[in-house]
Structure 1
């Protein structure tokens, strides 16, 4: 960083210092040098129009450290978050507080994806068919119609009179497919358009990552681009960005998407074009082909599409599905111009079948073709094995791009993240947490653990450790797993061995389980992936986090295999280039659940001794907070018992 700071940095330093706005308005405020350092790094990147990758450990206070420079810079800034929850917290809590403290009134805007806004045209159409609804659905529809006349922004999140799970809501929210743009009778009062206009005029716009990339890469429009071309983009929770880029630079098709579209053709025939029974006939034939393909895929359970290609019956049923969709499309061409809904459905059908054909042909050597199986649906994905080149074009030099998270570095370096996103000239800064980890937290890898992979033995061993830790912590424990199968085994064994409430992922929504965990005060929560990050339980409610094993990606994962093959082709080591960095960042996310503020105390127990007896284990240890380390489980249990 240049020794001569910009005027913005000087202004920001004053705000964070003694006598600044924060000290005047925040109760018991104490200036933290690490927070000021981050604010200065952000300010310099904004002024100099450079890119910045910055890891800010838990407790740095990164939200204020980037928002204050953003608000004082006078530049147009887009702040992108990893979740809608954080997005709303920024807009409804953090920003109003800061604007009041700083005594400034720039225009700010919260922008969500289309499906969060009511579409007046779709509501109007649903009202025309209101007599066909059952009692509960009709009641919901009438309440939504009444709310629509009173709402200023049409944000469905503010609709409290109807359940968020109502069957009516998907039929009245805005979609790209149903948007007719300037031809719409409701164009002037359109909620989605007004939200976008507000964003275009704002100095600071808060979005989430999925919306940002949908706009930038898919051009999810209907009027104009969602977001302005801002001076600065700040990605909070930036560790999520590489995977999101892979998703958006790739493509996906779901069997539910196909089924829904075919059902739409049947509905259009029955309501709008009753003189062509052939539309319904061919749509039903396509549904039969979809079901046949769907069942055959589930029977095979193959997750790598290139392996599916080796099974003749699966390829035959795949192309039969494609052909049945093509035949329906050919028939519909004779009816185009008769009905707007049919015309729109035809465009969707052509686009979908073209994407399906590209997927079935599987000709891009730089992509991984995978199959994901849900409870009753299949998703086909084509994912690029390297997004760095696309990202170089996306992150243009006319904008300053700032990436921050508590988990970006691997082995005290940010080069892995920079390389993934093609950020060649970004300033790289690591700011450690101000928490006193050696005294606040203990990290235990118990001795005498069996080898990872001996499933039955590992489950019993893991349960033994869990029971001792749960009793020592008096509940108040998270147990984080790398697989659902291990979670289910441990949950089954624990039920008869502990007397504390067990909350298991899948019993209820993530938020419901977390609320119950907080309310009970002595609960044990068992979770996989989604509970490793974005979970904030402070104070005495959470004293122990147990992790079953190091979170390495499965070697059978189709994207991993494709990327690994590509790296090997270039003479590289896939483990060092992909597996290890991803596992380090994932472990850091799990560990980050434990200590959330300067008064927290707790124990982290990792039941995987590879971290101490394999050479690569040092990369994990170097990347984790400096907790007091021990191999003695009794020492960890004693520490737990001392936490009130």
Structure 2
């Protein structure tokens, strides 16, 4: 029997409801109503829900309307700040007006998005010791601080977002003094929390949600209220985020920054202890030696580092240098608050390094990520289902939705990863007419997938006629930066259409340029596979270089694979294949974004038709017309105006 909430929600999506009255050219979509009903019933009947809603279902309104009409306190968590702000600034106000209801809403970001008045005040007191450029930005921020109502640094336009002053004036857990702070009553972070506590609907992003839920990353106990309902949009990102938050990480940047801060403290606060600076300098040298050796070795698995005597020796030398410095600092505790804080951070860091270096947890992967100029040591649990079962407690209804959750027409993989086996599972297909709107082409005569020059030539030989047939208007998506760079280099001068290559500018800047130019070609890796919405005639062709399988050398994959084998399961079918299917669906989802869109998807990997597992990919993708004849696909492209 339908609940009162469900009946009310169904009415609002009907021809007599609020949407029909207020949305221009509104037409009823049964799949959207079906989703709204499923969300309403999950809230009313108090059960968890996992729901895939294909592109075009209209899932945002389908969960927002039940949330607003439920009378419950609801947290809506998104995968990106862009969607977070779209919900709060655009969608929610529009729906509140359409529904003629008053529901207090709040936008809550992580504390490092808010100005800290105390930190700003301290910097202003010492402004004379800074360089001119730093002082200029500091004065602009100080002027803005007297005008802003919410202290959201994202609204600060007078200072560049990469200004070195910003990290020094935002709120942090480490520098927050809570109720002892003289600015407590007007604190922007505290006021944001109060608004969230008073609101019925609070919009956050996944990282803030898990940081608050798991790390209690505040100075005021939890930032978030204890909600009745939590709705995760872009929920396909949640498993990886859980792995990140249930694990831990240490960055060489973090170590370097802390050591330099301690040296600065010695020069300004505790000048009578030269040993502190000497030991900090020794630790910096140890960090540099370790950093250089790790980059030379190019090792991604920490257990391989331990097997290398030279690397292992440098690692333990660094850890001992940090421990020695922390030991000396204990004799100076109580002399200065900043020094006490630096000691706590150093002591915790040295202990984390020791635990990491010892590598004792067989249920975790110990991986090494080499960035542009830094090293990240990451400890990742190979199975987070048990922790998630405790996190997703029974007092709250948990709703997960995304356009890409199912694998081979099943949501079991996602449910198992998060320990949500008892959740109701629903798949709602896209209402778009894929057989007539899109063609999926895997060209004949493709060579073996690999990173050879032959593969680059193969990609380029398909890209050039496809780009010309589409008159630009093409995304070329890659699974590796190396292949992207090689193809980008080979395409230069061989097409009349402008090439936009990831790395030339920010993601948003490249997307804006792609839209402005109208006939451009964009080459990107993983960050362009999802969260990118280019509608209409601006994008007609998406080319993907190969199936996005995780590297078999990935430390987390190897640990999870070994664990699967111990349980008698096949790692490929249980781990690698489902991850690749969901990733491919994200890339494919860039092509058709509207009911009037038309386009061609070209996959340059014949494993999808030559291997038995290829059917799992095909079953999970929208029902596009399929062909192996590249000329047919190009002809379809040429007919798109």
User: Given the two structures, how large is their TM-score scaled by the length of structure 2?
Assistant: 0.99
Task: Write out per-residue CA displacement over residues 127-184 of structure 1, whole angstroms, 9 at most, x where no aligned residue.
Answer: 1111122222211101101111111110001111111111111110111111111121
State which drifts further: 280-289 or 51-60: 280-289
1-structure distance, mates of 2:83, 2:210: 17
Match of 2:316 in 1: 319
1-structure distance, mates of 2:306, 2:273: 37
Match of 1:430 in 2: 427
Match 1:147 to one of 127, 141, 144:
144
Match of 1:614 in 2: 611
1-structure distance, mates of 2:166, 2:514: 30
Task: Write out per-residue CA displacement over residues 10-36 of structure 1, whole angstroms, 9 at most, x where no aligned residue.
Answer: 000000000100111100101111000
Match 2:460 to one of 458, 463, 470:
463
Match of 1:335 in 2: 332
Any idea what SS the aligned residue of 1:205 has? Answer: strand
Give unmatched runs, 5+ long, in structure 2. Answer: none
2-structure distance, mates of 1:258, 1:128: 28
User: Given the two structures, how large is their TM-score scaled by the length of structure 1?
Assistant: 0.99
Match of 1:552 in 2: 549
Superposition map of 1:63-212 within 5 A? 63-212=60-209
Superposition map of 1:284-295 within 5 A? 284-295=281-292
2-structure distance, mates of 1:416, 1:154: 41
Match 1:213 to one of 210, 214, 218:
210
**Aligned-residue offset at 1:313:** 1.2
Match of 1:577 in 2: 574
Structure 1 segments of 4 or more deviating over 6 A? none
**Aligned-residue offset at 1:38:** 0.1
Does residue 400 of structure 1 match 2:389? Answer: no
2-structure distance, mates of 1:268, 1:128: 17
1-structure distance, mates of 2:151, 2:23: 34
Task: Write out per-residue CA displacement over residues 560-585 of structure 1, whole angstroms, 9 at most, x where no aligned residue.
Answer: 00000010111100000001100000
Match 1:368 to one of 365, 369, 379:
365
Task: Write out per-residue CA displacement over residues 313-348 of structure 1, whole angstroms, 9 at most, x where no aligned residue.
Answer: 111111111111111111111111111111111111
Match of 1:566 in 2: 563
State which drifts further: 628-637 or 451-460: 451-460
Match 2:239 to one of 232, 239, 242:
242
Match of 1:520 in 2: 517
**Aligned-residue offset at 1:601:** 0.4
Does residue 482 of structure 1 match 2:468? Answer: no
1-structure distance, mates of 2:349, 2:70: 44
2-structure distance, mates of 1:41, 1:331: 61
Matched positions, count: 641
Match 1:631 to one of 607, 628, 633:
628
2-structure distance, mates of 1:539, 1:455: 35
Tell me if structure 1 keeps the 8 A contact 2:451–2:483.
Answer: no
1-structure distance, mates of 2:343, 2:436: 64
Match of 1:388 in 2: 385
Match 2:508 to one of 507, 511, 515:
511
Does residue 59 of structure 1 match 2:56? Answer: yes
Match of 1:586 in 2: 583
1-structure distance, mates of 2:109, 2:138: 23
**Aligned-residue offset at 1:623:** 0.3
Match 2:220 to one of 215, 218, 223:
223
Any idea what SS the aligned residue of 2:395 has? Answer: coil
Give unmatched runs, 5+ long, in structure 1. Answer: none
**Aligned-residue offset at 1:454:** 5.8
Match of 2:3 in 1: 6
Tell me if structure 1 keeps the 8 A contact 2:111–2:218.
Answer: no
**Aligned-residue offset at 1:77:** 0.2
Tell me if structure 1 keeps the 8 A contact 2:51–2:401.
Answer: yes
Any idea what SS the aligned residue of 1:150 has? Answer: coil
2-structure distance, mates of 1:158, 1:462: 42
Any idea what SS the aligned residue of 1:451 has? Answer: coil
**Aligned-residue offset at 1:496:** 2.5
**Aligned-residue offset at 1:114:** 1.1
2-structure distance, mates of 1:149, 1:428: 50
2-structure distance, mates of 1:164, 1:537: 25
**Aligned-residue offset at 1:546:** 0.2
Match of 1:308 in 2: 305
